[in-house]
Amino acid sequence: MLRVEEGSLELAVQQNRTAFFDPHRRAALPSIKARIASLVQELEARELEVGLRTKRRGVIGHRKFAIAVEAIVSNVLVLTLLDPNRLLAVPRGHDMMSSRNEVYGSHFIDALDVLAHPSVGIIEQVEKGSKFRPGGPQSTTIRLGPSSKSQLALDAALPVEAFTRVPNPSVLIMKSPKDGKGESHEVQFKETLKTRKLSKQLIQLNEWLSAIPLKVAPDAIVRLNAESDEFIDPTRRTVRRIFNNASWTQGGRLFGGFWENMRRADRFEYLRIGSASHPEGEKIANVDYGQLFPRLAYLRAGTPAPSGDLYDVLGNDEARRGVKRLFNAMLFADGELRNWPRDTSQFFNDLGLRDAISAIRIQHAPIAHLFGTGIGYQLMFTESNLLMEVLFELRGIGISALPLHDSVLVACSEADNTREVLRRRLAEFLLSEEKAAVSIDYGGSKPNYART
């Protein structure tokens, strides 16, 4: 059985869940790459023998098939290293196979089928489906098969560091409008001067993020609790901008960094960022815009936002959390909300949804006409542009920062300077210095730049 070497913490997984297939996972060691290259030749011969194909692939087809095999084998081996009882959810549906990622396509399906063929047995298919919903229904799930050990002939003490991730060449993602089931899918777009400019900007950002002196504390072995089914993988250092509703002026938030899927408490506990004063790494702070969406909504309406807490509609702290969720859901909704947003109703006690909506509309009458128009995606675009400006300014003055939607994670000693950057940039958007509210969260009391 493959195992993780003691002290290895390159990845962390959730317990008792299915894991995502990572199309960018590859072998790092030359010995593994050589074995997989040999395996590809064996698999193509076996396809012909058992009737999975009637003729050999051409040069391009062979290259695509080889990439798919390496990605699949690397994924199942990494998962087995971390948790041999976990299943790997892999895509088979047309929407994923038609994406621009070079791993996907008919060659990917071919690789899955031959690797799972009874005469090969390197992987074992547990369930077959057309959706790609790790941990959910209709997913195809696989695991290492009974013949994998003899077929792969790899070292039993293989470390997780034997695998790596290649950069994602696709840094812009366009999503379709949501369908009747509330789902959207990736859509193809024509490359233009605008998309090339956006891509260049993201590539520069990713080069910077990849070079940030970011560390995970040594005691964060493989039990960090994440809020999704993805690995918490410190090699995931790059981001993509995801645009919504097939529009370059809606959405645009950054996704992909491993820190985004960590629980808030785990970020403060385990992440360390090197700074000028402490290059070996210090604890982080989250520098965050306060009540940004409602302020952007007032900006869009062309009227000043009222002073005070814009989410304080019902007069108590518990209800405020619910108001924030409901307020933002109303901005994103296309029409009147008919149901409570998820995990929201409990904050309102006996107050019904209609009464809660009415209270928000009355309190924020100047922007009431924006609720139910779906304008939230346009406000998100403004937010994402604002954050991009912040990140590039921080890069320019030498402050390492990790993007987190409408906030950034920085070393504690850089938090005050970072707040001033965020405050100034927001003031430029809002045309009012006093409305540029920015907070610093140290995850508790402000530390003395602890390096532990």
| Mean pLDDT in order along the chain per 10 residues (452 residues) | 37 57 91 93 95 94 96 90 83 79 92 94 85 62 82 69 83 90 85 95 95 77 46 80 96 93 87 89 93 91 89 88 94 92 90 94 96 95 95 96 94 95 88 72 68 34
CA 199/CA 195 separation, integer angstroms: 6
Report yes or no: 289 and 436 within 8 Å, Cβ to Cβ.
Answer: no
Last residue of a domain, one of 165, 184, 206: 165
Q: DSSP state, 214? A: E
Q: In this structure, are 154 and 231 located in the same domain?
A: no
Q: Of 114, 89, 93, 108, which Cα lies nearest the Cα of 14?
A: 89
- Residues whose CB is less than 8 angstroms from the CB of residue 350 and which lie 6 or more positions away in sequence, other chains included: none
Cα–Cα distance measured from residue 156 to residue 1, given in angstroms and rounded to the nearest whole number? 6
In terms of domains, do 415 and 353 share one?
A: yes
Q: Please tell me whether residues 258 and 388 are part of one structural domain.
A: yes
Question: Which among 85, 108, 86 is positioned nearest to 96, based on CA atoms?
Answer: 108
Distance set, CA 438 to CA 151, 287, 434 (Å): 57, 7, 11
Of 188, 326, 332, 180, nearest to 250 (Cα)?
332
Residue 13 forms part of a structural domain: no
Range of 26's domain?
A: 18-165
Q: What is the pLDDT of residue 222?
A: 44
User: Residues 220, 332: one domain?
Assistant: yes
CA distance readout (Å), 198 to 94, 102, 249, 257, 385: 27, 21, 12, 18, 11
Which two tokens mark 307?
A: 């002073």
Please count the structural domains in the chain.
2
Regarding whether 257 and 111 lie in a shared domain, the answer is no
Q: How many CB atoms lie within 10 A of CB 291?
A: 18
Residue 111: name the closest of 63, 155, 149 by CA: 63
CB-CB contact of 140 with 125 (8 Å): yes
251: β partners: 243
Residues 441/425, Cβ–Cβ less than 8 Å? no
Same-domain status, 50 and 175: no
Instruction: List, in sequence order, every beta strand (DSSP E) within 279-354.
Output: 284-289
What is the reported pLDDT for 447?
57
pLDDT of residue 290: 85
In a domain, 3, yes or no: no
- Which pLDDT value is given to residue 370? 96
Pick the closest to residue 119 from 156, 138, 146 (CA basis): 146
In a domain, 9, yes or no: no
Q: Can you give the pLDDT at residue 11? A: 44
